[in-house]
Amino acid sequence: MSKSQTLAIQLKKDVVNMLNRAQASHTGGCLSCLDIVSVLYQEILNIKPNKPKSPNRDRFILSKGHTGAVVFATLANKGFFPKSWLDTFCENESKIPGHIDSHGILGVELSTGSLGHGLSVGVGMAISLKYRKTKANVIILLSDGEMNTGSTWEAVMFASHHKLNNIISVVDKNKIQSFGRTKEIIDLDPLGRKWKSFGWKVYEVDGHNHKKLKETFLRAKKSRTKPVVIICDTVKGKGIKDMEDKLISHYRPPTDEETKTIMEEIK
Ligand SMILES: Cc1ncc(C[n+]2csc(CCOP(=O)(O)OP(=O)(O)O)c2C)c(N)n1
């Protein structure tokens, strides 16, 4: 088993526990991006807990901020803050609220939650890093429902116009949003061709296949001619049988039974 697969198993356990304990929403979107985040933090991102503000670090932005539980659990497992904090998820006065928050937490670059802003901030960071001639990359994880926002497409155009070759967008294409299937709300397809026509290099990959994800990220990091997008085909609610590819997974927390099953499956 690869290091990122081992991390993903731990994250699944932590995230399901956090959501169950807090009776929090967004289970489906957390589980769809968990493998992507594991591969990024274990194999790709140059971000170290002992140098969280290093000027050469990669900048990771979770634009789909409602799935902050996954990044909080990742940072705790990577040693950015004590794991005991995960038990306070979503509680009053907790440092780790339901949406990702950079206040008082090393390792989080940007507070998000209002969808449609991560890429705009990311292109600003990328342009500034280019001026400073660093080798750092800016990696932004977006959701597919988020691609309904106009601000995202403005940032897509801006990045290619300014030839930002240090930016990688990652789309968690789980095909379901809060109230319906993305296809029925505003159909995004053919999504890859759209990004391509806006001047981006496009990769499409199975968002749960660690080997393929790693290969694609490494290729994207090497590609220095234009901005890159990796469209990840994922399953909303991946790993909880009654939630997989189901709308209910967006708002329903994992039940006690589901949580117990996950803990037993991956003991
Ligand atoms: C600007 C804005 N409008 C509405 C919301 C409420 N909201 C939270 S998640 C979500 C959509 C969920 O679907 P998607 O963006 O595809 O995320 P995922 O399926 O990956 O969880 C919405 C509309 C928000 N966070 N921001």
Kindly report, residue by residue over 69-86, the tens digit of the pLDDT: 999 999 999 999 999 999
Residue whose Cα lies nearest atom 21 of ligand 1: it is 29
- pLDDT for 112 beyond 70: yes
Taking the alpha carbons at both ends of the chain, their separation in whole angstroms is 15
Which CATH architecture group holds 3-265? Answer: 3-Layer(aba) Sandwich (3.40)
What is the pLDDT confidence band of residue 213, given thresholds at 50, 70 and 90? Answer: very high
> What is the rounded radius of gyration, in angstroms, for the C-alpha atoms of the chain?
17
Atom of ligand 1 nearest to the CA of 146: 15
Burial status of residue 231 (CB atoms within 10 A of its CB: 0-12, 13-18, 19 or more)? buried
Domain ranges of the chain: 3-265
pLDDT at 234: 98
pLDDT at 84: 97
Which position has the token pair 């001047």?
A: 199
pLDDT, one tens digit per residue, over 39-53 is 999 999 999 999 999
pLDDT, one tens digit per residue, over 13-28 is 999 999 999 999 999 9
249 lines ligand 1 (CB under 6 A): no
pLDDT, one tens digit per residue, over 225-254 is 999 999 999 999 999 999 999 999 999 999
Query: In this structure, what token pair is assigned to residue 5?
Result: 């697969």
35 closest CA partner among 197, 172, 199 = 172
Query: In this structure, what token pair is assigned to residue 223?
Result: 């590609």
> SS3 letters for the chain?
CCHHHHHHHHHHHHHHHHHHHHCCCCHHHHHHHHHHHHHHHHHHCCCCCCCCCCCCCCEEEECCHHHHHHHHHHHHHCCCCCHHHHHHCCCCCCCCCCCCCCCCCCCCCCCCCCCCCHHHHHHHHHHHHHHCCCCCCEEEEEECHHHHCHHHHHHHHHHHHCCCCCEEEEEEECCECCCCEHHHHCCCCCHHHHHHHCCCEEEEEECCCHHHHHHHHHHHHHCCCCCEEEEEECCCCCCCCCCCCCHHHHCCCCCHHHHHHHHHHCC
For residues 207-221, give the mean pLDDT: 97
174 lines ligand 1 (CB under 6 A): yes
pLDDT at 69: 98
- pLDDT for 267 beyond 80: no
- pLDDT for 218 beyond 90: yes
Mutational test site, ligand 1, from 15, 27, 63, 66, max ligand atoms within 8 Å of CB: 66
pLDDT, one tens digit per residue, over 116-162 is 999 999 999 999 999 999 999 999 999 999 999 999 999 999 999 99
Distance between CA atoms of 17 and 35, rounded to whole angstroms? Answer: 17
Atom of ligand 1 nearest to the CA of 148: 15
Mutational test site, ligand 1, from 67, 114, 115, 251, max ligand atoms within 8 Å of CB: 115
- pLDDT for 266 beyond 80: no
pLDDT at 39: 98
Distance between CA atoms of 241 and 250, rounded to whole angstroms? Answer: 14
173 lines ligand 1 (CB under 6 A): no
pLDDT at 223: 84
